[in-house]
A and B are shown apart, each in its own frame.
Chain A
Amino acid sequence: MKPLSFLLIEDDLIETLKFKRVLATMETKHRISEANNGEEALEKLKSPEALPDVILLDLNMPKMNGIEFLKILKDDPVLKYIPAIILSTSNHHDDILECYKIGIAGYIMKPLRYEDYTHKIKSLVSYWSSNEFIKG
């Protein structure tokens, strides 16, 4: 498996711990960069040499929420090429529709059970590991 770099935008500490813990159990060591909200994430995306392969985005966040962040991301001539995947507890039809309209690479519901979560995240990571990315 090819190592990936993720930007995880998530305000809930335990959610971040969950994601890191699942990735830690995998053989390939992926890189994880963290942001607590959209503003922080945009700050991190300012340095072009540190752009992640994949962005994982929570929808409900303080300050700048997921959808606001997504809009800015997809308006940017460079950043718009980074696949963004939503991680959310909401399966609200309007939310899902809005996200796909703006442009997302996937929408994952956070399951209740940790074992289901582990399974989903592992499949996500291995899927994106087998993808080619735009470099440079």
Chain B
Amino acid sequence: MSTTDPKLLRKALLREKSARKQAEKILEDKSRELYSLTQELQVVNEKLKAGLTETTSELKGLFENLVDAYVLMDVSGNIIKMNDAATELFGYNLKENKINVTELIHKDDFQYAMTSFQELIRKGSFSDYQARVYTKNKGVRTVHINASLILDKKNNPIAAQGIVRDITKKLELESDRKFLIKSLEKNNIELKNFAHIVSHDLKSPLRSINALVNWLREDYASVYDEAAEQTFDMLIKKVDQMDRLITGILKYSSIDKATYPKEHIDLNVVVNDIIDIIFIPNHVSVAIEGLLPVVKGDKFRLQQLFQNIMSNAVNYIEKEVGIVTVSVRELPEFWEFAITDNGKGISKKYQKKIFEIFQTLEDNERSTGIGLSIVKKVIDYYEGTIWIESEIGIGSTFYFTLKKDLK
């Protein structure tokens, strides 16, 4: 056997050649693959790099622009980093001073701060911690802190960070507000009591005057002439008027303050009761047109509302036959009531004015100028509206609305 057989040799060579070619091809393919992979990797890498800077700058922006103060410290409390808000709040510059947080905490809150710090180490975070701190320029401030630990790969704490918010102003405002509400409540009670005390103190002497005048009349009847009797009459009338005023003011002041039980009130009963109670001149008749609804509210205010409009209506009719009607119209959310009279009417320019307290359109001894202002106050209390349609010489209609569910 010889290897020098040229035929065989050539064959072997050929085989080798083709094998190398094949290998070369594989190599080429692989290297192309590798190249594209590297290319791809490079893109990914670029992207990663870009992403990284993006996150860092995002964080940096957040850190700088955070409205709240941000403080980073090591586990012994030495401050490593503060944002602008923190520098502004505490007034210290890290470049100039070395600060440990324990120096900043108010002495009375120190123990509490240490306990909270222990909790932070144990649990990894705490929130809603509130304490007083010393600042360089702003004195003692009350701050709210949320803090968390920063851990290394082996879960050992290496630093702590906290978001610090100055709540001094907020607390001041809150306590101001509480104080205001409290004094308002006190004022309201005082005002309510004041009205009652004053009215008692004013009413008592009137009762005395009335009695004394009556005694004079009784005891010295034989010596008085008719003129004296008239003087007594006028005196008694003035006392009456004064008493009505006081009663009216008291009612007016209690309309939106007193609490009365809320119940189902049949307005037909209320209005019929009023017809029985109030003084109705002989030439005037009062009637309910149709059926009035049952509303949920308090009897006192509803009666004041209807009674004052009704007495007003019956009192100013000069025609031979006076007619006053009470009617109602149902609307989706409201009842619209109308109290109509054929009295002398109210001129347009007075239609607003008559609801103001102490406003009377004529010099009438019986009118105090309080009745319609009570009406307005009841309407305001029940969040309704009231208006007048009136023509001089023909009559007036008082319209008002009441919600179907009164407060």
List chain A positions with a Cβ less than 8 A from chain B. 12, 14-15, 17-18, 21, 60, 88-90, 92-93, 95, 110-115, 117
Contacts and interface: CB of A to CB of B under 8 A. Distances in A.
A-B interface, 6 closest residue pairs, ranked by CB to CB distance from nearest: A114-B214, A14-B208, A89-B203, A114-B211, A112-B243, A18-B211
Interface in B292-327: none
Contacts of B208: 12, 14-15
Interface string B202-239: 01101110111111000000000000000000000001
A12 B211 contact: no
Interface string B156-171: 0000000000000000
A93 B257 CA distance: 12
A9 B364 CA distance: 39
Contacts of A89: 199-200, 203-204, 207
B216 to A, nearest CB: 11
A17 B239 CA distance: 20
Interface string B245-270: 00000000000001010000000000
B196 interface: yes
A111 B196 CA distance: 16
B391 interface: no
Contact of B196 (A12, A92, A110): A92
Nearest to A14: B208
Contacts of A113: 210
A92 B192 CA distance: 10
Contacts of A93: 258, 260
Which of B207, B213, B215: most chain A Cβ within 10 A?
B207
Contacts of B212: 14
B200 A90 contact: yes
B98 to A, nearest CB: 67
B74 interface: no
Contact of B210 (A12, A92, A95, A114): A114
Given A15-B208, A110-B207, A113-B210, 9 more contacts: A14-B211, A60-B197, A89-B200, A89-B203, A90-B199, A95-B196, A112-B206, A114-B214, A114-B215
Contacts of B356: none
B240 interface: yes
A93 B258 CA distance: 9
Contacts of A17: 211
Contacts of A15: 204, 207-208
B239 A90 contact: no
A112 to B, nearest CB: 5
Contacts of B240: 112
A60 B200 contact: yes
B241 to A, nearest CB: 11
Most buried by B among A93, A110, A114: A114
Contacts of A18: 211
A114 B240 CA distance: 12
Nearest to A12: B204
